[in-house]
Structure 1
Amino acid sequence: MLIRRAREGDAEGIAHVHTESWKTTYRGIVPDDFLDHLTIESRLSHWEKTIRSDEEDQILVVAEQDHGNIVGFACGGKEREGKLPYDGELYAIYLLKEVQQKGIGQQLATHVVHHLQTHNMKRLIIWALERNPACRFYEKMGGTPVQTQSLRIGGQDLIEVGYGWEDLSLFGEESLPDC
């Protein structure tokens, strides 16, 4: 498995992972009608624009299998809302269902975190739907629930949880075995 920075030509693979992971992860959380209407095309322009972005503090990385298929991605940069005392944000991390629970998410997140640290970011937040199974991953990586907020997806009100790291250098420390 290769973890690398996204480049021209990756947008379709990223949009595929984004769409499919929403459909598998959020089924039973987000309205089915909303999920059933998600398409790669609806996400494609966003990812093409993100790849072309020249924002130095932002990063988009992909997990690529040996045969070239993108099976996951993560992106992050400056915290976007300015309401909480965090300077960095992990905007998104998604994996195809068949490659989850194999350490790939940790590798992707760690790449993003290292990039944020090189841009002098010290504290991190990530937002996740309250019933998202990945919340356990964020807790395992050392995140603490610090805030909730509501959002509306597909006509349904949902709760989003903000997981924070007060010290970005400790990201992932919780997941390491005691020596």
Structure 2
Amino acid sequence: MTSLPPFPRLTGSADVSVRPARPADAAAIARVQGTTWRTAYRAVLPAAVLDDWDADGVTASWAAAIAAPPTPRYRVLVALERDEVVGFAAVAPVEDDPAAAELGPLLVEPRWGRRGHGSRLLAAVADHASADGVVELQAWLLETDRVSADFFESAGWAADGWARTLETGDEPLREVRWHAALEQEDEGR
């Protein structure tokens, strides 16, 4: 298993930062998700998912998840450029393994890509997870998504051999699980 060093506490400049999401961020999170899915995943997601996108429904779901998280260790974080939400990540505990957490979506709107927002979000997720006592992070990536796989690999993650198939009503989607170990900081440091 790949082991990552402890992540430093995040500091952000006035121009870029990561912070916990607020209910008022829900519409921006839904916008980032919809735009990213339409741009980066149009070829793999079922057309009905994208064509029938319910921005109000997705916004309401994110607002509820932020305002009343399903578990105390569930987190939604947003990446900001100036005051604009340009990306987000969600992380939740793994149900049958209290030492692990699963990274849900980590998305940066394509027009804001290649500016370090994804790396800052991933570092913030690891920082929060580590503070919660998590020692392993997991994420499911589409098997055909080389861009995300390259990103996670460059951050020290590796595929762990697990795969699953999602039935979508169209072509099934195959996902591969990636993981990274988090080193715990010594209390004396």
Partner Cα distance (1:96, 1:11) in 2: 15
Deviations 1:93-149 (A, max 9, x none): 011001112211010111111101011110111011111221211111111111111
What SS does structure 1 have at the residue aligned with 2:58?
A: helix
1:20 aligns with 2:31: no
Unaligned segments of structure 1, at least 5 residues: 171-179
2:149 is matched with 135
Question: How do 1:1-179 and structure 2 match up within 5 A?
Answer: 1-54=16-69, 55-66=71-82, 68-80=83-95, 82=96, 87-132=100-145, 133-146=147-160, 147-165=162-180, 167-169=181-183
* Cα deviation, residue 53, structure 1: 2.1
Q: TM-score, normalised by structure 1?
A: 0.85
Decide which moves more: 53-62 or 22-31: 53-62
CA contact 2:98–2:134 (8 Å) conserved in 1? no
Partner Cα distance (2:164, 2:175) in 1: 5
Shift in alpha-carbon separation, 1:128–1:85, aligned structure 2, 3 A: farther
* Cα deviation, residue 62, structure 1: 0.6
* Cα deviation, residue 86, structure 1: 6.2
CA contact 1:34–1:154 (8 Å) conserved in 2? no
Unaligned segments of structure 2, at least 5 residues: 1-15, 185-189
2:9 is matched with none
Task: Name segments (4+ residues, structure 1) moved above 6 Å.
Answer: none
What SS does structure 2 have at the residue aligned with 1:11?
A: helix
Deviations 1:64-108 (A, max 9, x none): 221x2211001112124x3x8961111110110011122110101
Partner Cα distance (2:23, 2:151) in 1: 30
Q: TM-score, normalised by structure 2?
A: 0.80
The sequence identity of aligned pairs, in percent, is 27
**Aligned amino acid, residue 72 of structure 2:** E
**Aligned amino acid, residue 11 of structure 1:** A
What SS does structure 2 have at the residue aligned with 1:76?
A: strand
**Aligned amino acid, residue 17 of structure 1:** V
What SS does structure 1 have at the residue aligned with 2:178?
A: strand
- Report the number of matched residues: 166
Question: What is the CA RMSD across the aligned residues, in angstroms?
Answer: 1.9
